[in-house]
Amino acid sequence: MVKKVEELTKVTIRFAGDSGDGMQLTGSQFSDTTALTGKDLSTLPDYPAEIRAPAGTLYGVSGFQINFGSVEINTPGDQPDVLVAMNPAALKVNLKDLAKGSLIIVNTNAFDDKNLKLAHYDKNPLSDGSLSNFNVIEVPITTLTVNSLEGMELSMKEMTRSKNFFALGLMYWLYNKPMEPTIEWVHEKFKKNPQIAEANEKALKAGYYFGETAELFTTRYDIQPAKLEAGTYRNVMGNEALALGFVAASVQSGLPLFLGSYPITPASDILHELSKHKNFGVRTFQAEDEISGICSAIGASFGGALAITTTSGPGMALKTEAMGLAVMTELPLVIVNVQRGGPSTGLPTKTEQADLLQAMYGRNGEAPIPIIAASSPADCFYTSLEATRIAIKYMTPVIYLTDGYIANGSEPWKLPEIEKLPKIKVNFRTDPNGFEPYSRDEFLARPWVIPGTPGLEHRIGGLEKQHITGDISYDPDNHEFMVNLRTEKIKNIANELPLLEVYGEKEGDLLVVGWGGTFGAIRDAVNRVRAQGHKVSQAHLKYLYPFQKNLGEILHSFKKILIPELNLGQLATLIRSEYLIAPITLTKVQGLPFRASEIEEKILELIEGKKKD
């Protein structure tokens, strides 16, 4: 049967199944291959919160969404064009997100009475007509996988584990992608178990050639490479890019890198990634708790290292006293918070950006700390460099915010030219003449002294310091002076920050302001509305404290300000108090990122004065 080939500009695919079905691996391999073939892409892994959710249940469903194309891709896509559902629960959880006419590929072997009951289906949706608005392709994936492995000395359980590779091979055929990169990866991944590697390769090829020979498919699809800036690219996840950024910061500053961290979802991958780079002198310390993690990092900074600590959500709360210690000792330290749904344990595997006010105010006393936020997975690399630069230049801790969406998502990253990366200047005080531990340079930064330097002995600690000498002081006037001095130092950072840029008109009726991982959804929404002939602009903040110096001027140049946030309006609160304007908020706290369509709808409502039914 001759299969026609249809060319697309972009497509959104979601893989879904049990947490044990390998959907994250399937999605990541599909993403890596997509990147290798030159497409632009954005991904959204969606993990279940339960570590061992019962197989077949609704709350055990794991998903991975990828949006890729030959055009600019800023988000993982609003709605999947294709759903690969490995069981009834995966179908039920994800069906609500599909538009009419979407393609659904289902593993029919999983639609037995037991799994239908676990997914709370009274009738089999494959036969009751409830899916009549969709293009459903029924494939006995499990059976076909087992058949392809006939003759191998594997248990039934081991054979059925390869069914995700059958599904991956089928999608490779459907979207005209090569199998070779995945085959190479499989043999490297399972080199200690070559029989499993062979099984996965066979299942992958079986899925691919099933698409070629089965009469279920009449069309396959092709997408041309995206017109990306010339250079060498790789697919990168946010946590990975963040870790590599700190390795680069270590090299560019000449300082050994130390990470003191306690594992916590979704920040743990930073610890895992940095532990691989001992060849760069990186030292990773897995502490027994969050407090030990940050305190060990403060000690490393006192000893002259580039020190960082990483955490998520509730771990940030446990670090707050030690953050105050870093403020008082005025030592460079980067505190990474990969935000997740809260409060308390909250939604460990879901995204949110609701820790902004905690980063701003969540310490006792007047303890100002600069705040910086990454806007995409690839941007994490450069934000790591910038956070390091600020921390060292101003001798201050810096809070660096990402979120679960950025951390686990991926996109193409153009590898930087090493010689063009900024050098990070470090000045250790070595001259004992006239040394005072709390004297100041032109940036109000105190000197950084490595303990043991002759003639530069000094004390640090959490008690208030006397100006210049650093002696313990309980003098009321000195305390007020030092509080104001530390605040002035942080506010002065704004003097050297690049001016905020506006995408679109520089003044007008509506400006959409965002921060963090909302960048892509806002950009797509703004572009869609501009394509309809409306004038709307975008400004995205990387520096959240202090703000860039021209932010106030920009805000007052527009009649309306819209701020979409994955919280109940925290940036809006800060902007309202700082600039005395009343921004309009669009909030979402569902553990999921914004869809561009949600922001587009709000923009049109503000422009046209009509609310969509």
Q: Is pLDDT above 70 for 327?
A: yes
Is the omega angle on the peptide bond into residue 564 within 30 degrees of 0, that is, cis? no
∠ CA 237-240-244, nearest 5°, is 135
User: In the chain, what percentage of residues exceed pLDDT 90?
Assistant: 96
Which of 118, 573, 508, 527 shows the shortest CA–CA distance to 356?
573
Q: Is pLDDT above 70 for 208?
A: yes
Measured between alpha carbons, how far is 481 from 444 in angstroms, rounded to an integer?
13
What are the residue ranges spanned by the domains of the chain?
4-223, 234-420, 508-608
Residue 396 pLDDT class (50, 70, 90 cuts): very high
CATH class of 4-223: alpha beta
- Single pTM value for the model: 0.95
The torsion angles phi and psi of 199, rounded to 5 degrees, stand at -60, -45
- Tell me what percent of the chain is helix, strand and coil, each rounded to the nearest 5: 40, 20, 40
Q: For residues 6 and 43, is the Cβ–Cβ distance under 8 A?
A: no
Helices (H), 6-67: 23-36
> Looking at residues 517-524, what average pLDDT do you find?
98
- Relative to beta strand 371-373, strand 543-545 is antiparallel
H or E segment and range at residue 561: strand 558-565
Q: Is pLDDT above 80 for 2?
A: no
Beta bridge partners of 414: 233
Q: Is pLDDT above 90 for 512?
A: yes
Is the omega angle on the peptide bond into residue 343 within 30 degrees of 0, that is, cis? yes
Helices (H), 396-475: 404-408
The torsion angles phi and psi of 400, rounded to 5 degrees, stand at -120, 115
Q: SS3 of 234, please? A: strand
pLDDT at 608: 87
> Looking at residues 186-194, what average pLDDT do you find?
95
Environment class of 224 (CB within 10 Å of its CB; exposed 0-12, middle 13-18, buried 19+):
middle
Q: For residues 203 and 25, is the Cβ–Cβ distance under 8 A?
A: no
pLDDT at 54: 87
pLDDT at 611: 63
Residues recorded for the chain: 613
Measured between alpha carbons, how far is 475 from 480 in angstroms, rounded to an integer?
9
b/e map of 459-486 (b: 16 or more CB within 10 Å)? ebeeebbbbeebeebeeeeebeebeeeb
Environment class of 410 (CB within 10 Å of its CB; exposed 0-12, middle 13-18, buried 19+):
buried
Q: Is pLDDT above 70 for 452?
A: yes
Q: Is pLDDT above 80 for 322?
A: yes
Long-range residue pairs from 449-457, CB within 8 A, at least 24 positions apart, any chain: 450/303, 450/304, 451/302, 451/303, 453/428, 453/429, 456/429, 456/430, 456/432
Measured between alpha carbons, how far is 52 from 36 in angstroms, rounded to an integer?
33
Q: What's the Cα-to-Cα distance from 192 to each of 64, 119, 150, 187, rounded to whole Å?
A: 27, 37, 22, 9
User: In the chain, what percentage of residues exceed pLDDT 70?
Assistant: 99
Q: Is pLDDT above 90 for 609?
A: no
Q: Is pLDDT above 90 for 49?
A: no
What is the residue-wise DSSP string for 277-326? Answer: -GGGT-EEEE-SSHHHHHHHHHHHHHTT-EEEEEE-THHHHHTHHHHHHH
Is the omega angle on the peptide bond into residue 546 within 30 degrees of 0, that is, cis? yes
Q: Is pLDDT above 70 for 318?
A: yes
**In the predicted model, what is the mean pLDDT of the chain?**
96
pLDDT at 612: 58
- Relative to beta strand 10-18, strand 61-69 is antiparallel
- CATH fold match for the domains 4-223 and 508-608: no
Measured between its terminal Cα atoms, the distance across the chain in Å is 46
Which of 298, 295, 271, 291 shows the shortest CA–CA distance to 283?
271
> Looking at residues 194-216, what average pLDDT do you find?
96
- Relative to beta strand 283-286, strand 333-339 is unpaired
Measured between alpha carbons, how far is 267 from 28 in angstroms, rounded to an integer?
18
pLDDT at 337: 98
Count other Cβ atoms within 10 Å, centred on residue 552: 15
Q: Is pLDDT above 80 for 549?
A: yes
Helices (H), 163-193: 163-174, 180-189
pLDDT at 613: 53
The amino acid occupying position 478 is N
Q: Which two tokens stand for residue 519?
A: 């960048």
- Tens digits of per-residue pLDDT, 239-288? 999 999 999 999 999 999 999 999 999 999 999 999 999 999 999 999 99
CATH class of 508-608: alpha beta
The amino acid occupying position 369 is I
CATH class of 234-420: alpha beta
Q: Is pLDDT above 70 for 602?
A: yes
DSSP 8-state class, residue 465? B
- Relative to beta strand 397-403, strand 410-414 is unpaired
- Tens digits of per-residue pLDDT, 134-154? 999 999 999 999 999 999 989
CA atoms within 13 A on the CB side of 559: 7
Strand order from edge to edge, sheet including 333-339:
283-286, 257-261, 306-311, 333-339, 397-403, 371-373, 543-545
pLDDT at 53: 82
The torsion angles phi and psi of 40, rounded to 5 degrees, stand at -80, 150
Rounded to 10°, the helix 141-148/163-174 angle is: 100
Which residues does 347 contact at the CB level (< 8 Å), separation at least 6?
Answer: 49, 340, 341, 591
